[in-house]
Structure 1
């Protein structure tokens, strides 16, 4: 397989296909010859029933989808795709090896006698069958090329994956030297109290998928890379993060931390949790956080924060309601909102209303 980097240079990715038994994977994990990094994917998004049915499928002899590993500079293998499958079986075989509770099987539909049992309670023949069952592993051979590892993880986990776009960014950023430091800035700022309070209308289910961290990334993309927006939000955010990770765009964590905190302190002080949501006909905030509203308000505060400092919160809130209710803003947030002209239009409308600069 041949991969091209961002400068158009071709790099060949060499792979090796190996069949491991689950017993071998467990031993390799115990010996620290295979690294299973929980930060790549949340370790157990699967329910107990899903894990149990995987064990049942193995006992039935059904084929298990392959896993992908990458060889690091020390020759140690890092699991980059297939964590749910691998960790579920390892949990059943030896839960202490991966610091998880003992797995008690449940929800097995075809071999119902497995239900309620742990590894120590099943017969020896079945136990050995699970340990000896093979799973195909594709090993990406050693490469010190950060871009190859980054792009490979992103591609493996795009499409049918259960990971959200931001979870993929969290994981793939760690493939690059310094990437973990950058992502930890996003994580830290997502917990900043004024930001968390101002974005509290973000549903908890979305927070679990790191949508709050995506909003932090969107803030910096809006501030530092607005001109690269082409109409696709995911590609825009991916492109901005990649430009930072690979040194194409400067990101000063100290300066960015200060701007972010100053901006969200002001937003929350002035508008509370009503900054990024719609209002009903009675002027009451309603519904969840709307990303298009978030972009417009953040940009207005980034650009004109000092001018809004002395405006009373009640006055600023009324101006915001008027902005959101204006035809110009509605036209910029309706169908086809993710276009460059409409992005600039909604930012302009909110900025003019908040600063009381509405054209006559």
Structure 2
């Protein structure tokens, strides 16, 4: 579309005049000129030049763009290699991506994540996507031994439903309520692990602890069993959870095995709220 805009003379986005920059990288014959300021022969050459394009069409699944991620990933070899969420941000221009962008700005999420600055490689956004993906019935009820997390995150980004707008708004409220609850009941180190001696919290966000506590808390909120919970008791229960040997295994070994995903969420749910997740 850049060439199209140049020939038309204006940018489609804001209707400003499209002129080439004054950069020394551009030949001084064309530097700072608009299309109409080029010589007639130069205009004719541009208009008659063929720009080749390859159109990719995904036939299965027909309502998803997951193949675009694979194509983008394979051609992404020059310059700085993009991280998975950066690719998703390029490929999936939909309400799910906008939802992640919006939720990533929540002040209490920024505090829990441990940085007020947005992660330049979008790892913070990917964690929010993890929350929705691992919480979904599709993953919860998966009968395979292990999932490909990258594939499942892609599928969630590209999925569509008949009640799409309602689904997006429900997801927005769910994540916001979970973050509000966790921040007020567990504090800024809610998703941190204990050190090797089990005496102090390490100053680092732990993704699989986030999976476990956030999804377990969402489950408890949905069941309406969080009213009147004692904060001190919850903090004590979290310490016991983090010291549980099985929980330690589930958050550190083969973390994408279904048994370990559901296992760590279930243990968090039982320790913290006294209910089962699975």
Shared topology, TM-score over 0.5? yes
* 2:20 pairs with 1:94: yes
Give the 4+ runs in structure 1 shifted more than 6 A: 33-37, 122-125, 142-146
Cα distance in 1 for partners of 2:28, 2:102 equals: 48
Distance 1:357 1:217, change over 3 A: closer
Range with bigger deviation, 273-282 or 344-353: 273-282
Match of 2:215 among 274, 279, 299: 299
Cα distance in 2 for partners of 1:344, 1:190 equals: 25
1:275 maps to 190
Distance 1:149 1:307, change over 3 A: closer
Deviation of 1:329 after TM superposition, in Å, equals 0.6
RMSD, aligned CA: 4.1
Deviation of 1:151 after TM superposition, in Å, equals 4.6
* 2:231 pairs with 1:308: no
1:211 maps to 123
Deviation of 1:26 after TM superposition, in Å, equals 6.7
1:163 maps to 82
1:73 maps to none
1:183 maps to 97
SS at 1:348 equivalent: helix
1:80 maps to none
Distance 1:27 1:232, change over 3 A: closer
Cα distance in 2 for partners of 1:309, 1:220 equals: 23
* 2:273 pairs with 1:355: yes
CA contact under 8 A between 1:308 and 1:354: conserved in structure 2? no
Q: Number of residues paired by the alignment? A: 247
Deviation of 1:243 after TM superposition, in Å, equals 2.3
Cα distance in 1 for partners of 2:63, 2:167 equals: 25
SS at 2:187 equivalent: helix
TM-score (norm 2): 0.71
Distance 1:139 1:264, change over 3 A: same
Cα distance in 1 for partners of 2:245, 2:56 equals: 57
Cα distance in 2 for partners of 1:298, 1:215 equals: 11
Cα distance in 2 for partners of 1:271, 1:300 equals: 13
Cα distance in 1 for partners of 2:58, 2:267 equals: 48
* 2:110 pairs with 1:196: yes
Question: Which ranges in structure 1 are unaligned for 5 or more consecutive residues?
Answer: 1-24, 38-92, 96-101, 104-117, 126-130
Q: Deviations over 1:163-202 (max 9, x none)?
A: 221122222112xxxx2x3321221111122222222269
Cα distance in 1 for partners of 2:135, 2:159 equals: 14
SS at 2:225 equivalent: helix
Range with bigger deviation, 207-216 or 148-157: 148-157
SS at 1:286 equivalent: strand
2:38 maps to none
2:6 maps to 30
Distance 1:33 1:186, change over 3 A: farther
TM-score (norm 1): 0.57
